[in-house]
Amino acid sequence: MLSDEFGREVSGVRVSLTDRCNFDCVYCHNEGLGDTRGPLAAQDDELSTDRVVDFLEVAADLGVDSVKFTGGEPLLREDLAEIVERTPDEMAVSLTTNGTYLPGRASELVDAGLERVNISQDALDREAFAELTQSGAYDRVLEGVEAAVDAGLAPVKINMVVFEPTAGYVPEMVDHVVENEGLRLQLIEYMPELAGHPEWAIDIDRVHDWLSERADRIEHRQMHDRRRYFVASDDGDREGMVEIVDPVGNETFCANCHRVRLTHDGYLKGCLNRNDDLRSIGETKSRMRDAFRATVASRVPYYGEYMVETEDGWERDERYRDGEGDRAPYAYTED
């Protein structure tokens, strides 16, 4: 397994298969790929099936043992099952999706080798959901969760972004996963670094404190040092798990970051929040190997190294002022 200069082993890759999406969530950072708006049909710049598979084989050779497929909406790729099927056996395969295309396709993905799925659902309220995602697909998402459970993907992780408009729904989402076997909840701190609107953020420590009071036990996950809270139902018969993803301004989170990302158009990046280190994987496996090694060698923790805390808040360190990217940063437009 390769390690970076900060002793962080790279055990996982996150592959964005497309920057397209059928939703337009108000908070979306799109994994650093710019806006998801635009045509839904497949685009020429997207990596072909073979190139994704070549890359995964190279990553596996370099000791990477897990892959997460994401996007945009990864199920907009018609070849997703083929990609999962052709992923090297030694890699654990998971997916993050908005869930809308899982009905009818979840079983095919499981048969191909999919082991886990995270489905985004920010509220149990239809209207709030529509406002947040700019879509009317609430029922379809619930069907997607059901399809995933039925296909054998339990426990399914529900991803919920916690910010001003959703914070009030946290207690009922926690109850929802306690009551429903087969579900887990992942509360993701709203990240304004790429998406803007820092005023939407809430103090995630308040959520930690609230869960600490409710939980019977707490575990720390090696990845990002994330905390997992185990919450029992009132009658003690059932238990739900709630994980908090709290990367913003969190040096410990970054110090335990073990993932490299691949963009839909074939660039490696060492950090979700960076857009100035995009390195092309090229066409051949030997180029891909070199690019992967170079990206690992130059990746740095975002908070605490790339960004340093000053009296005025977090600022980019002088040493990283000049970007080292092979292509221009992806663009976001303000709403």
Ligand X SMILES: Nc1nc2c(ncn2[C@@H]2O[C@H](COP(=O)(O)OP(=O)(O)OP(=O)(O)O)[C@@H](O)[C@H]2O)c(=O)[nH]1
* Binding-site residue set: 14, 21, 25, 27-28, 68, 72, 96, 120, 157, 254, 257, 259-261, 271
Q: Read off the DSSP letter of residue 169.
A: G
Nearer to ligand X, 36 or 70 (CB): 70
Q: How far apart are alpha carbons 149 and 72 in whole angstroms?
A: 22
Among 4, 17, 18, 36, binds ligand SF4 (CB under 6 A): 36
Listed ranges 28-36, 38-46, 281-289, 299-307: which one lies at the site for ligand SAM (CB under 6 A): 28-36
Nearer to ligand SF4, 21 or 102 (CB): 21
Among 132, 194, 245, 281, binds ligand X (CB under 6 A): 245
- x/- site string to ligand SAM, residues 186 to 225, per CB under 6 A? --x-xx---x------------------------------
Question: By three-state DSSP, how is residue 287 classified?
Answer: helix
Tokens of 256: 């335990």
Any alpha helices (H) in the chain, and if so which ranges?
49-61, 80-86, 106-112, 126-133, 138-150, 170-179, 192-195, 204-214, 251-255, 285-298
24 binds, among ligand SF4, ligand SAM, ligand X, none (CB under 5 to 8 A by kind): ligand SF4
Q: Which residues have CB under 8 Å from 95's CB, separation 6+?
A: 68, 69, 70, 74, 80, 109, 114, 116, 117, 118
Place of tokens 């998406």: 195
Under the binding rule (CB under 6 A), the answer on residue 253 touching ligand SF4 is yes
Among 87, 121, 159, 263, binds ligand X (CB under 6 A): 159
Q: Are strands 92-97 and 66-70 parallel, antiparallel or unpaired?
A: parallel
Closest by CA position to 120, among listed 42, 38, 185? 185
Interaction site with ligand SF4 (CB under 6 A): 21, 23-25, 28, 30, 36, 71-73, 98, 120, 133, 224, 247, 253-254, 257, 271-273, 301-303
